């Protein structure tokens, strides 16, 4: 984990430079808080709400790229506001949409601060990694009842760390694991033991979450990172190094799983959770049936049905981000979300293999985001804090690329 040099200078006036330095540290602390969401509102919301206001007082700018992201977010929340008009009883819907609006705004904020100074990516990912290690350790200790009261970090005999749900806890750990994996593949040998040990803690936390979505995401993301690195690096020696490390990682993972299976509690739950279709998936009104019925019903309701209404009609929530966008934010919300996802993924495809200081961070965020959109077919990611942070990171890297290209164009066009 080493700092990276900027391809262009970032200068501020002395007074503002000090304020921005403090603000950058506070951003890292805010990211750290995203790993601790036992109750709502969580410290993350309260802290970040004040921090966003602080940064805009400092004069944080909205560029064209950031402005496009802001437009997407405003369209999405507009769909949610229109859906409230379809509700007979509003209830807690305004609070739900207020949380959505805050999370949407947080994406724009992360994009803007990254564009202003790409070195903040280093702070963001290191803070995220520290939070992931701590919350993973809490989940592991809780699972094994290591101290009195440690069961607060578990749910249904599944590790959930300092989260409310194992299905959020597991995916939260994926981006830091990719950041560490990239460091293992490309970093100095001296840093290898610490990175491997840290990655093992996070991976064990993912395993004990017993979240099928998190397992799939973790494996998919690691494979994608190795594949992209093989495509990116043209040196035969480097490719051999990647393959050797990847193979060693696979062997180590198998050994850890085999050892874990010797513990009866882990073995029994692991056997149960590895079934592709659980009972609550395939029942008459199970997850998949609700998806079909929900989509068919939503076709005749262009403004949606309102936040949290779906669970009053069917036994549970949507458990599908596309259906969630449709029911809670209407046709406008679904179209906006689809457009946002495809635009975001398009940035990664176009810019991910370019040799830039922010490339490792873009790779980790983009691959993780791909995994989130895939598991979004069977789970709600609507209010996941780190999901919106991923959008902000990818768009922030895209904004950096756009700014970099503009500066290159100006240098080329400038007369000698």
pTM for the model stands at 0.90
> Contact at 8 Å (CB) between 329 and 336?
yes
- CA nearest to 181, candidates 144, 153, 218, 209: 218
The dihedral sign for the CA sequence 324, 329, 334, 339: negative
**Mean pLDDT in each 10-residue stretch from start to end of the chain (416 residues)?**
44 61 90 88 88 86 94 96 92 91 95 94 96 96 91 91 93 96 88 92 92 90 90 80 80 76 68 56 62 82 90 81 93 96 95 92 97 92 93 97 88 66
CA distance 325 to 336: 9
Tokens 């990116």 belong to residue: 232
Per-residue model confidence (pLDDT) at position 272? 61
The pair of three-digit structure tokens given for residue 289, joined into one six-digit string: 């049936």
Q: Which residues lie below 8 Å from residue 129, measured CB to CB, with a gap of 6+?
A: 1, 176, 179, 180, 198
What local confidence, expressed as pLDDT, does residue 9 receive? 46
Residue 34 has a pLDDT of 94
What span, in angstroms and rounded, lies between the C-alpha atoms of 254 and 409?
50
Evaluated on CA atoms 209, 213, 215, 221, the torsion sign reads negative
Dihedral, CA atoms, 100, 105, 108, 113, nearest 10 degrees? -130
Q: List C-alpha distances in Å: 248 to 22, 142, 245, 269.
A: 41, 29, 5, 27
């Amino acid at each position: 984990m080493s700092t990276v040099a900027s391809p262009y200078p970032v200068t501020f006036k002395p007074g503002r430079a000090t304020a921005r330095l403090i603000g950058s540290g506070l951003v890292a602390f805010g990211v750290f808080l995203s790993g601790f969401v036992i109750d709502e509102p969580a410290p993350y919301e309260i802290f970040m709400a004040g921090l966003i206001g602080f940064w805009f007082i400092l004069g944080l700018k909205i560029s064209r790229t950031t402005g496009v992201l802001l437009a997407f977010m405003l369209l999405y929340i507009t769909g949610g506001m229109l859906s409230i008009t379809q509700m007979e009883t509003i209830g807690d819907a305004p609070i739900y949409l207020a949380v959505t609006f805050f999370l949407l705004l947080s994406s724009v904020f992360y994009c803007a601060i990254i564009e202003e100074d790409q070195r903040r990516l280093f702070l963001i990912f290191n803070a995220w990694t520290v939070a992931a290690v701590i919350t993973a350790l809490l989940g592991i200790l809780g699972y094994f009842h290591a101290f009195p009261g440690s069961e607060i970090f578990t749910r249904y005999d599944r590790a959930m760390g300092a989260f409310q749900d194992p299905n959020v806890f597991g995916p939260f750990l994926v981006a830091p694991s990719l950041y560490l994996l990239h460091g293992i593949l490309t970093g100095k040998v001296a840093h290898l033991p610490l990175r491997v040990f840290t990655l093992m803690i996070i991976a064990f936390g993912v395993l004990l979450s017993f979240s099928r979505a998190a397992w799939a995401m973790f494996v998919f993301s690691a494979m994608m990172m190795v594949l992209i690195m093989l495509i990116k690096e043209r040196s035969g020696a480097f490719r051999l190094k990647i393959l050797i490390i990847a193979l060693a990682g696979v062997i180590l993972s198998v050994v850890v799983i085999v050892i874990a299976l010797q513990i009866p509690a882990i073995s029994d739950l692991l056997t149960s959770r590895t079934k592709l279709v659980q009972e609550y998936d395939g029942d008459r009104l199970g997850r998949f049936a609700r998806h079909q019925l929900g989509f068919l019903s939503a076709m005749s309701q262009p403004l949606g049905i309102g936040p949290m209404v779906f669970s009053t009609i069917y036994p549970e929530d949507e458990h599908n981000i596309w259906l969630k966008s449709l029911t809670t934010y209407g046709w406008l919300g679904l179209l906006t979300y689809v457009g946002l996802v495809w635009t975001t993924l398009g940035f990664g495809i176009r810019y991910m293999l370019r040799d830039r200081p922010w490339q490792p961070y873009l790779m980790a965020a983009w691959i993780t985001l791909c995994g989130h959109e895939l598991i979004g077919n069977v789970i709600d990611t609507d209010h996941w804090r780190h999901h919106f942070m991923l959008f902000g990171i990818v768009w922030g890297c895209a904004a950096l690329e756009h700014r970099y290209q503009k500066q290159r164009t100006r240098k080329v066009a400038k007369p000698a």
